[in-house]
Amino acid sequence: MDCTRSAVDLAPITPSPTHIIESPEPITGSEPVFSLAAQPESKFSKAEIRTSLRASTIDGVFATIFSNIAGGVLLSNFLVELHASPVEIGLSASIPMMANLIQPIGAILGDRARSRHHYCLAIYTPSRLIWLLLLVAIAAFHWGKITEDAMVLWTLAILTVTHFLGALGGAAWVSWLAALVPKKLRGRYFSIRNSAANLTCLLCVPLAGFVVSRFGAGSIVGYGIVLLIGIVAGLISLGFQWFMKDVNPQEQQKALPTSTETPIASVLQDSNFVRFLIYFSAWMFAVNLSAPFFNLYLLDNLGLDVSWVTIYSSLSSAANLLMLIVWGKLADRVGNRFLLLTVGVLVALTPIFWLGTGTDALSLWVWLPLLHILGGGTWAAIDLCNNNIQLGIAPVRNQSTYFALAAAIAGVSGALGTTAGGFLAQLVQYGGLPGLFALSTVVRFTALIPLIWVHEAGSRSVRQVLKSLFTTKGEIDLQLPQEQ
């Protein structure tokens, strides 16, 4: 389910578990997905919004190729081939989350810039180019110049630099998208964007896994070849951002009433957002207690070939691709909070289902594929709704600070969960990884409780939701408002 991580890499509001995420009418096609025959809610014209959304979707497609090669199951397999320990593999998952600690700094820097585009370009270009250093290390390893331990440390160092750089741009990137995507279309647009990313993941990850596992010079060198392709794709994705309408954060701030409050103080005084932070930090801890170790379980405990694991990941992406449009429309109809609570129950139960897996034919051909399909479909809703509910409850003023603090707090919680999981996974006397999966289910259920007290404008009660679901025809108007 690693492909789902791409959603957060593409639109980083908050850190995502390592196994997360993005209709049939692609926004990149010749026909627009939704009607743009009216003046948008923003200051931009219909044509500017249409072009920007298409470019953003194509950007997401190429960024997916990069993020799933420089992370996810392919990177996990690379570390396993280097005989990295569970703690080191857990560290590779916690680094991206810990990096979000500096997102508030990135929010401040981004709000002081005069161009969202130029700021994001200055951040994400070096954060992707730095992976060229790993290619150098792989070549040196192939020629016997450095050891496996040195390679693991080299990889973790590159991960640290690239994700800390990327964290400086996360809040600015999401604020840029928030300014471009009309509020009424967010659920549907982001589901479409992520669906395009998942279709890409569905195709590219198995191909990359096949190249890695079958490459004549070995899987480590094979990963280097695939990584080079990923870096090129990452740079192409940045090229498409030139077609997105730029936003000047200085003009956004001038359009708002003046305030004497500091950004962080205003966030802490927003009791509803604080309740959301409590929920999200607990949820990230609970999820990451086990999430980074599912691939380790498959590759190490069960000893499966990486090609099997990439096929399973593609099944997860396929489930996302099929379900995200449904979740997007449903979120616009019944609210994000309701879906987070109901689908969250299924996500909480998922780790316990892994206890029945093994290397027998039933597990390989039925149980493991079904688990990945379930995970892909449910995480499609969780990621989409977690992002959308933040866009909905964070006010326009100091929006970047809201996003950055949410990412920082959730990142620390997720990293603590991953660290705790890595430690518990080594305690064989307490069940090892299977025991960790069982514990994760209990903690996930507990983490859902604070969400009950989070208020979302426009969300429905249970009675309203049931009435809405049995309505024969949707009443939500997903078109942009008519010109006055």
Cα(333)–Cα(377) distance, rounded to whole angstroms? 18
Could you tell me the pLDDT band of residue 423, with boundaries at 50, 70 and 90?
A: confident
Q: Does domain 25-32+42-249+261-469 have CATH number 1.20.1250.20?
A: yes
Place of tokens 């077609």: 243
Q: What is the pLDDT of residues 335-373, one digit of tens each?
A: 899 999 999 999 999 999 999 899 999 999 999 999 999
- Residue 166 structure tokens: 């990327």
pLDDT reported for residue 122: 94
Amino acid at the residue 357? T
pLDDT cut 70: percent of the chain above it? 82
- The ranges assigned to domains in the chain are 25-32+42-249+261-469
Cα(261)–Cα(204) distance, rounded to whole angstroms? 47
Cα(331)–Cα(91) distance, rounded to whole angstroms? 34
Could you tell me the pLDDT band of residue 463, with boundaries at 50, 70 and 90?
A: low
Whether 474 and 329 have beta carbons less than 8 Å apart is answered as yes
Cα(263)–Cα(51) distance, rounded to whole angstroms? 32
pLDDT reported for residue 478: 41
Cα(56)–Cα(83) distance, rounded to whole angstroms? 38
Choose the weakest-confidence range: 21-25, 178-182, 197-201, 468-472.
Answer: 21-25
Place of tokens 């569905």: 202
pLDDT reported for residue 468: 62
Place of tokens 């997401």: 60
Full-prediction pTM beyond 0.75? no
More confident call, 81 vs 407: 81
Q: What is the pLDDT of residues 277-329, one digit of tens each?
A: 999 999 999 999 998 889 889 988 888 888 888 889 888 878 877 887 789 88
- Residue 428 structure tokens: 């064989």
DSSP structure string for 78-113: HHHHTT--HHHHHHHHHHHHHHGGGHHHHHHHHHHS
The answer, yes or no, to whether residue 1 has pLDDT greater than 70, is no
Q: What is the pLDDT of residues 178-192, one digit of tens each?
A: 888 887 777 788 878
Cα(281)–Cα(275) distance, rounded to whole angstroms? 10
Kindly state the DSSP code that residue 297 receives in the 8-state scheme: I
DSSP structure string for 20-52: -----S-TTSSS-SS---S--SSSS-HHHHHHH
